[in-house]
Amino acid sequence: MNALIKSATIVDSKSDFHNETVDILIEKGRIAKISKRISNPNNYKEITLDNLHVSQGWFDSSVSFGEPGYEERETIANGLKTAAQSGFTAVALNANSNPAIDSYADITFVKSKAQDKATSLYPLGALTKASNGKDLAELYDMKNAGAIAFYDYQKPIGNPNLMKIALQYASNFGGLVCSFPQESKISGHGVANEHINSTQLGLKGNPALAEELQIARDLFLLEYTEGKLHIPTISTAKSVELIRAAKAKKLDVTCSVAIHNLMITDDALDGFDTRYKVLPPLRTQKDCDALIEGLKDGTIDMVTTDHNPIDIEDKKIEFDYAKYGTIGLESAFGALQTIFTTKKTVSVLNQGKSRFGIAEASINVGEVADLSLFDPNGEYQFSKADITSRSKNSAFLGMKLKGRTYGVIANNKIVLK
């Protein structure tokens, strides 16, 4: 793939051309030249877009596509196309398909479905067989097949001894164990944050305590085993404090936060709209503020869209019975820009790669072209017309977002909207 990007502002602190507006010549998938003006004698494809900015390709540590088994929600092919158009050059795929991705063959299958795509797919293998929380899955085999971590998506490991064994076993080959932060006996059948709003609306509460107890337990297990732990999608102020203290003790722990938990509170539940039924549940403004602060000071290591397409039959029903989840790839950049500067937004969208063993490529001559293309300016109201996912269950519909993505250049391919 050869291309010439014209008049692009580079947003990459590791680039020699950070904050400069330049032309970028790409030959055979690598950056061949960066300069104020580059001619095009070989008649390469020229990319000229309004207020074009480019950065290192973005990474999302938690996406769900459905395939195999739930293709009505999303296919891998369309999911990766959506990710590319949303500016993501790499995504970690959750194991919550049917059947769950819990073997060497399953990892090989999903990787084969993602071949020759601009956005790279990195599978997360299930931590336990069929994600049932009873017996460890074939972790080492999946690692050899290409799994980058092990996670029973949104299913907490209730047995502390099983989590202990998982951390110990995975440490033998540098495996990363992910643990969903919820104590099920405390959360019970709760569907919303246990607080004033859940009481007024008559919704069963899922207290912050359920998340914090599980995190405290897992951090004790981590300290005992000296393993390697990632805690996905934390949502409470106390969770931030717990992880901050663990990092001060030099424990090998990272965590993420879902973008919707950063900026939408449980006040949104007033209309019983199931687009806002997510797990962990939307919390309070105090929690949002603490999560944002945790992201700023490095306690929280990365953001995720926690993209989870759900078909209309499982969303357009009573709140208690609707499935958890919101899509988030298409709205990620514009949503983050409403609370952060462009520089910070790009930074947090790039974080997490090293934790999952994914290579980073700065925007310098000789590097592989792994680029996200976007315009950081302009406000708009996010609508269904902005969604390319098969499922339309977005918590951001109707919200004012800032800035739009154009697409990506990655894996020797160009994908633009």
What residues are annotated to the active site?
A: 306
CB atoms within 10 A of CB 219: 20
5/7 Cα distance (integer angstroms): 7
Is residue 124 within a helix (H) or strand (E), and if so which, with residue range? strand 120-125
Contact 88, 56 (CB under 8 A): no
130/210 Cα distance (integer angstroms): 24
**In whole angstroms, what separates CA 143 from the centre of its chain?**
20
Name the CA dihedral angle for 66, 112, 302, 344, rounded to a multiple of 10 degrees: -110
What contacts 160, CB < 8 A, 6 or more positions away? 217, 221
43/163 Cα distance (integer angstroms): 57
Q: How many CA atoms lie within 13 A of 378 on its CB side?
A: 12
Residue for token digits 């293309």? 373
Beta bridge partners of 230: 178, 254
Q: Strand 88-93 vs strand 58-63: parallel, antiparallel, or unpaired? A: parallel
CB atoms within 10 A of CB 397: 18
